[in-house]
Amino acid sequence: MDIWPVTSAMKANRTTIVSVSVRVAGVVCYAAIASCARHEPAAPAAAGAGPPAIPYEAHISAGGRTPAGGEFNNPFRNDPVAAENGEALFSAMNCDGCHGGGASGWVGPSLADGRWRYGGADGEIFSSIYFGRPKGMPAFGGAISATAIWNLVTYLQSLKPPAEVPTEYWEE
Amino acid sequence: MGSEAIRAMFRVAWLTSVGVVGVPLPAHAADTRAADGQWSMPSKDYSATRYSALAQINRTNAKGLHPVWTFSTGVLGGHEGQPLVVNDTMYVVTPWPNVLYAFDLTKEGYPLRWKYRPAVSPNAIGVACCDTVNRGAFYSDGRILYNLLDGHTVAVDARSGRELWNTQVADVTAGETMTMAPLVVKDRVIVGASGGEFGIYGWLKGLDASSGKVVWTARNIGPDADMLVRADKFKPPYAQGADLGANTWENASWKTGGAPVWGWLSYDPELDLVYYGTGNPAPYNPEQRVGDNKWSSSVLARRPDDGALIWAYQFTPHDNWDYDSTGAMILAEIKVNGQPVKALVHFDKNGFQYLLDRATGRLINATPFVQVNWAKSIDLRSGKPVLEPAKQTGVSKGNVKGICPSPEGAVSPASPPAYSPKLSLFFTSTNNFCTDWEATRSAYLKGTPFIGANIPYTAGPGGYLGALIAWDAGAARKVWEINEPYPSWSGVLATAGDVVFYGTLDGWFKSVDATTGKVLSKFKVGSGVVGNPITFRGPDGKQYVAVFAGIGGDWELLVGDTHSDDPADVRAPLDMLKQIARHTSKGGLVWIFGL
C-alpha cells in the first residue's frame, strides 16, 4: 500500500520521506531507482495519510479567505544532488520530449522561465507531476516514487530564467 | 453559354462523379473536378495535384490581387490544411478544439450558415507531438468528414451542420492523435493516426462512410496478419518473404515502432489503389530497433475496400534521421526519357524526389532536390540508398555533426507540393536546415514521448533557410527557385492561369509566375502561413484564392517567442530564427483574395 509522507514529518526530517509507488516495471524501475538511490528513504513514516490537497497560492479566494489545505514542502530544496538526480529523471522519464531539453519549452510550456501555469510552490509543482494537468500533462504518480518527483521538483526549481525574459528587444 | 450555365453544368458533372456512393469514379473524374471551380477534397483531386483549371487570375493580372474578406477563427495555433468550397459554401476546420465553420458565399460578408463544435478532449494537446494542427476535411455525398485531435472521426451534414456519426478510432492514452485529413473512396473513409514520437503501433483504418463503423484496420508495421498482407496479393518490388514488417525489427521493436499516418492520401481509380506514406520509426535512437524497420518511412498501396496491401516501397530503410514519408504521393503522367509513365511522384523529407511506377512500386528515378549528405544516391536496381557512413546515428555513434537535411525535412510533409499538368512542373516548399544528432537511450512509457535524441539544428549553406522551387520530375532538375529568409512551410497551389500561390513563415502570401518564378503580388496576412492555398469560383462567377494564416506546427515548438497568449510560457528564440518574432506572432485567420 502506498504511504504518504505527512506534512509535519516531511518538514522535520528528510529521512522520513517514503517512496510512494511500488508500481515500477522494467525501465521505469531503472530510471527511478538508479537516479534516486542516494535519496532513498531509511524507513516508512506514519501510514494512513492520503495525498494532501494543496491550495493554489495564486488563486483568488472568495471573501479573501483562503480555503484550508495541506502544506507540502520539498524536502530537498536547494539540494544540488537532488537537482542532479532530477535532471537525469527529466530525460529518463521523457519529460524533455514535451518540455524540451533544459525544460526550456517545446510542445509543453517552458519550465525554465520562472513562470508557472499551475503554481511554482513546492506542493504545486509536485501535484502537477503526480496528478498531471488537463492540457495533456500525464500523471506520473503511478509510475515513479514521491522521492523521484521531489528530485524533479528540485531540478526545476534550480533552473534560472534566461536574461532575455521578459523583454525581447531587437537592435537595428 | 453564360458563366452561370457553365457553373451549373460543372456542378451536375461533379455531383455525378462523387454523389453516388459505391460507384467507382470514372477515369476522367479528376479532370472534371479540376475545372469545376470547387475544392471538395484536401488535395483538390484524387491525384493530389492541388491544380485548378481556373484561369481568370493569370500571369498578367495577378499583380492586382488583393484581400476581399478575412475571418478570425478564434483559435490560436498552427493553421495547417486548407478550406473546402462546395455548393457556394466554404468549410473551415480549426486546430484543436476542431471547430467546423460553414460560410455562405452567396451573401455579403460571407456570414456563417452554421458552426459545429465537437466535444474534444484537451488531454490530446499534450499527446500531439507538434502543435494541435488539423490538415482539413473531405466533402463526400452531402457530408463533411474530418478528424478530431483526440482520435475521433466525425461526419457532419454539409447543409445543416448536424453530426451524423462520431467514431473513436485512435487511443490518446497510447500516444495516438489525429491530425490528417481523411480520404473518401467509394464507401470507405480512410484515416490514420499521428504518434511517431510516442511509440504508437501505426495504422490505417477504413470506416464505412454511412455508419462510421470501422471495417478494416491495417497496421503499417508488424506481422503480416496485422498488416493485412496476403502472400498471393502482396508484391513489394524489392523485398520478399513473410512478416517483413516484423522480421526487420530486432527484439520485436515493431510493437512500439511508430510509423504514423499524418499526411496526404491519394487514389488511382483505374488501379483501385490508395497510396499513403508512413512516418518515422520510433524511437529516434536507431540502435533500439536494429533492422530495416519495414514499413516505416515508406509508401504503401492498398485496396480501399478491404485494406489489402498490394505493394510497398521503403524510402529510408532503418531511418536514422526522422525522415517521415508522410508527404503527398502525387499521381501524374510523366515523360521519362521520352516515354510516358503512370507515375507516383514524391518529395521526401530525406531530400530525394522519387518517381515510381504506381502500378508496381518500382523505382524509376530518385534525385536530390536540396543538399543531401546522409546518402550518396539511391541505387535504382536495389531501390536502396547508398549510405554515407559518417552520417549514421545511434548511441554508439556519439554526437554526429552536420547531417542534411534536418528532421524538419527537405520539405515538410505538412507542406504539400502542387503539380501543373499544363506545364509538367511540380512546385514545392523546401527547408534549408542541417542538424547534429546525439542519440540517447529512450525508455518506452505509454502515453509519454518515445524519442531518444538531442537534435540541434544548424542553418544550411547559402544564407537562406527555405525556398519555393519549380521542379521538372521527368528531367529531374530544378527550373527556378525563390529563396526565403525563413523555412518555407506552406503548401502550394498551381492554376491553369500559370500562377502559383504560397505563403511564408513570416506572414507573406505571394502569387508567382509559374513559368519564371517572378513574384507577381504579395500581402502581409497577419501571421505566418503554414496552410495550403486553394482556389474556387465564387457565386459571382469570379475566381478567388483562399488561405489560412496562423504560424504553428513544428514552429509552435521551435520559435517559442511567437507565443504571446500564455504569460506562464515565455521562451528565448531559436538561435537561427532570432528575428522571426519581429514579423509574426500566433494567429488564426482565413483570407480570401480576388482581383
| pLDDT for A35 | 40
Indicate yes or no: CB of A27 within 8 angstroms of CB of B443.
yes
CATH class, range B3-594: mainly beta
Indicate yes or no: CB of A108 within 8 angstroms of CB of B126.
yes
C-alpha cell at B98: 476542431
- Residue A169, pLDDT > 80, answer yes
Specify the pTM: 0.90
Report the alpha-carbon distance of residue A158 to residue A86 in Å, rounded.
10
Indicate yes or no: CB of B126 within 8 angstroms of CB of A101.
no
Query: B43 and B416 in contact (C-beta within 8 Å)?
Result: yes
Nearest CA in chain A to B172: A136
Whether B579 contacts chain A with CB within 8 A: yes
Indicate yes or no: CB of A117 within 8 angstroms of CB of B566.
yes
A28, A100, A168 member nearest B445 (Cβ): A28
* Closest to A16 in 3D by CA, of A68, A73, A71: A73
- Residue A28, pLDDT > 60, answer no
- Residue A38, pLDDT > 80, answer no
- Residue A40, pLDDT > 50, answer no
User: Buried b vs exposed e over B505-525: b needs ≥16 C-beta within 10 Å?
Assistant: bbbbbbbbbbbebeebbebeb
The interface predicted TM-score (ipTM) is 0.87
Report the alpha-carbon distance of residue A23 to residue A19 in Å, rounded.
11
- Tell me the CB-side half-sphere exposure of residue B181, using CA atoms within 13 A: 33
| pLDDT for A49 | 54
Q: CA triplet A97, B415, B330: central angle to 5 degrees?
A: 125
Q: How close is the nearest chain B Cα to the Cα of A4, in Å?
A: 24
Q: How close is the nearest chain A Cα to the Cα of B565, in Å?
A: 12
Question: Cβ contacts (< 8 Å) between B197 and chain A: which residues?
Answer: 97
* Closest to B387 in 3D by CA, of B374, B372, B405: B374
C-alpha cell at B119: 466535444
| Residue B385, phi then psi, degrees to nearest 5 | -70, 145
| pLDDT for A99 | 95
Report the alpha-carbon distance of residue B416 to residue B146 in Å, rounded.
18
Q: pLDDT digit string (tens) for B13-43?
A: 333 333 333 334 444 444 444 458 999 999 9
Rounded to an integer, the average pLDDT of A37-64 is: 63
Active site residues of B: 197, 280, 322
Report the alpha-carbon distance of residue A73 to residue A77 in Å, rounded.
8
Report the alpha-carbon distance of residue B52 to residue B45 in Å, rounded.
9
Contacts for A72 with CB less than 8 Å, ≥ 6 apart: A7, A10, A52, A54, A122, A123, A126, A127
Question: Cβ contacts (< 8 Å) between A31 and chain B: which residues?
Answer: 443
- Residue A3, pLDDT > 90, answer no
Helix (H, G, I), strand (E, B) or coil at B15: helix
For residue B280, what are the β-bridge partners? none
Domains in chain A: ranges and CATH: 7-49+73-158 (1.10.760.10)
pLDDT band at A172 (very low <50, low <70, confident <90, very high): low
Question: Cβ contacts (< 8 Å) between A94 and chain B: which residues?
Answer: 442-443, 445, 448-451
- Residue A16, pLDDT > 60, answer no
Report the alpha-carbon distance of residue A153 to residue A119 in Å, rounded.
12
Q: How close is the nearest chain A Cα to the Cα of B105, in Å?
A: 36
pLDDT band at A50 (very low <50, low <70, confident <90, very high): low
| pLDDT for A122 | 94
Q: How close is the nearest chain B Cα to the Cα of A9, in Å?
A: 32
B449, B569, B573 member nearest A97 (Cβ): B449
| pLDDT for A54 | 83
- State the sign of the Cα–Cα–Cα–Cα dihedral A104, A105, A109, A113: positive
Report the alpha-carbon distance of residue B229 to residue B235 in Å, rounded.
10
pLDDT band at A8 (very low <50, low <70, confident <90, very high): very low
Query: B24 and B189 in contact (C-beta within 8 Å)?
Result: no
Helix (H, G, I), strand (E, B) or coil at B274: strand
B451, B573, B579 member nearest A97 (Cβ): B451
**DSSP single-letter state for residue A111:** S
Report the alpha-carbon distance of residue B373 to residue B380 in Å, rounded.
18
| pLDDT for B409 | 98
Question: Cβ contacts (< 8 Å) between B150 and chain A: which residues?
Answer: none
B557-564's contacts with Cβ under 8 Å and 24+ in sequence apart are B557/A100, B557/A105, B557/A106, B557/A107, B557/B130, B557/B131, B558/B457, B560/A104, B560/A105, B560/A110, B561/A168, B562/B528, B562/B586
Q: pLDDT digit string (tens) for A95-137?
A: 999 999 999 999 999 999 999 999 999 999 999 999 999 999 9
Interface test mutation site (partner A, options B123, B280, B457, B570, max chain A beta carbons within 10 A)? B570
Mean pLDDT by 10 residues, chain B (595 residues): 37 36 41 71 98 97 98 97 97 98 98 98 94 97 98 98 98 97 98 98 98 98 98 97 98 98 98 98 98 98 98 98 98 95 98 98 98 98 98 98 98 98 98 97 95 94 96 96 97 98 98 98 98 97 98 90 89 86 96 98
**DSSP single-letter state for residue B332:** E
DSSP string, B380-400: TTT--EEE-GGG--SGGG-EE
Helix (H, G, I), strand (E, B) or coil at A89: helix
Helix (H, G, I), strand (E, B) or coil at B490: coil
